[in-house]
Amino acid sequence: MNSEVEARFDLGEWREQFIRTVLRIASVLGVFLIISSYSTATVMDRILFISLYLLLVAITVLPSPYSLRASLLLSMPILVGVNAVFSWGPWADGTIFLLAGITLAALLIDNRAYLVILLSSIIFLLTLTYLTTQGYYQLSAPAAPSTALLDWAVFIVDFVIAATIITFAISMLKGAFAKVTNQMQAAFNALNIERQNLEEAVRDRTEELEARMNQLRASTTTARVIAETQNIVELLNKASDLISENFQYYHTGIYILDEAGTTAYLQSASSEVGKKLIGQVLRIESDRRNPITMAVENKKTVITSDQDQGKFISDANFPITRSRMIMPLNVRGEVIGFLDIHSDQPRAFGTQDAEILQTLADLVAISFDNVRLIAESRNLVAQLEANTALQTQRTWSKLTSRRKTAYLFTPAGVRPVFSQSKPEPETDGLHVPIILQGQSIGKIKLKRKGSVSQWSDRERDLVEKISVQVALALENSRLVDEAQRNALRNQMIASFSSSVRETLDIEAVVRSAATELRNVFDLKEAEILIGTSQQETTQ
């Protein structure tokens, strides 16, 4: 608004400043004019000059209307000029003051007041010429020379020419100035209109950018929450709720397809009506007009509105829906489901909305697939741990069933314990199990000397760490022993194979096999039968 005010030209304001400037200059220069003409002026001239000067100072200092100041200022040079002509005729500077009055009238007053003053001045000069040439009036200045009709004629012609040139020049200047002012004003008005249009465009663009920033902010918040969720049900529920809440949509549903991709199941919904429909089954039929089928088959977002009667399909469960957007959930080029977003506003979804929400949809799909893979991996790891624990239990149960190994530290030293007459109570001393793969394969029992029987947490923790190392050492020892037995067995098999392959005679092969079996297993006797008995043949 400030620029618009500064661009507008106000003629009245310009005239007010101009007349104030002229009055101040005249007030200063008038003093010198009175002083310079005081010695040669008559008493009446002195009274006239001083009176006019006092009036000039009064209208300069005292507040007064513009029209009064302009009228008085115009009258002053005219009165001085008329007085000069009355006194000196064409021989003084009266025409200068008359021309000054005409010029000021052209600048300060409208309605062509300068033409009135010009005509009045000409009539005055013609009348005075007639009176002086006919002897009806004598010039009042004693030193005024005699004046003939030719002198007056030259004087009046010069005055008319100068006044006409000045008035027409000022008139043309004012017309050109008014035209330029109007053009500038029109240009400024056009610029103001353009500026307003630009401001409105910038405001609309700013509001649009703020809306997009809010959407991106909401998208970032939603994405962070979705990425942090590790439970499938919780993931889908949060995704539907956050999309509806952050983007102001009254319903968001998430459907998951079966392996064949022909049936979709509603897994989560944000609206109360949608939550009652969880588990709803939709058939993906080959219908090119169905937006759900189009989104799943083409793997692209489909936007419909009730104003597009050809594509929009109303849902009886959501009668207030006026806009609908179906977004596929894509993972590695495969569609595993889709987002069904409803709005009660017509044409609520645009291309940029679809781009932002499609990013969220892809994130939901990836997070869903990752959580599912993590759950499967955890189940597999749990199964492997359970199988490992079961195998460990079986292995050590079988191992400890063959040998009851236990060692007891006594003042006499370490001695093996092969049997225990009666079990000791758990409260007697410190009992720490030896855990391997989640299974107990043994126990450490400790008793203190003397009457002190309490064990601190630090001591218990130390013993538990020792039990872990004992378990690992026992398992390593078992694995080494098993590896040695396997190596010995493989060595015996290799030796047996090389022994029986040394000859091609059947009896020699059988004899060598029986000998090797007896030596390997340290048998009392070994028998190898070739062929079938008659009893087996009859059966």
Contact present, 312 and 343 (Cβ < 8 Å): no
* 334-343/439-446 β-pairing: unpaired
Q: What is the pTM of this model?
A: 0.48
The Cα 291–Cα 324 span in angstroms is 9
Token pair of 433 as six digits: 């199990």
Three-state secondary structure of 487-512: HHHHHHHHHHHHHHCCCCCHHHHHHH
User: Which residues make Cβ contacts (< 8 Å) with residue 100, sequence separation at least 6?
Assistant: 77, 81
**pLDDT, block means (10 residues), the chain with 539 residues:** 50 82 88 80 82 88 87 87 85 85 83 81 89 83 78 88 87 83 86 90 83 75 77 85 85 89 89 88 79 86 80 81 89 88 86 81 84 84 78 72 66 65 61 78 77 77 85 80 79 73 71 73 72 53
Contact present, 445 and 430 (Cβ < 8 Å): yes
Three-state secondary structure of 204-270: HHHHHHHHHHHHHHHHHHHHHHHHHCCCHHHHHHHHHHHHHHHHCCCEEEEEEECCCCCEEEEEEEC
State residue 451's pLDDT score: 63
The Cα 180–Cα 95 span in angstroms is 33
The Cα 37–Cα 54 span in angstroms is 16
State residue 197's pLDDT score: 92
Q: Taking the domains of the chain in order of start, what are their residue ranges? A: 2-193, 239-377, 403-419+426-495, 502-538
Token pair of 364 as six digits: 């939901």
Q: Which CATH architecture describes the domain 239-377?
A: 2-Layer Sandwich (3.30)
* 263-269/281-283 β-pairing: antiparallel
State residue 211's pLDDT score: 73
Helix (H, G, I), strand (E, B) or coil at 41: coil
- Residue 60, CA distances (Å) to 80, 248, 499 in order: 19, 70, 144
User: Which residues make Cβ contacts (< 8 Å) with residue 107, sequence separation at least 6?
Assistant: 15, 18, 170
Interaxial angle between packed helices 232-247 and 149-228, expressed in degrees from 0 to 180 and rounded to the nearest 10: 160
The Cα 145–Cα 143 span in angstroms is 6
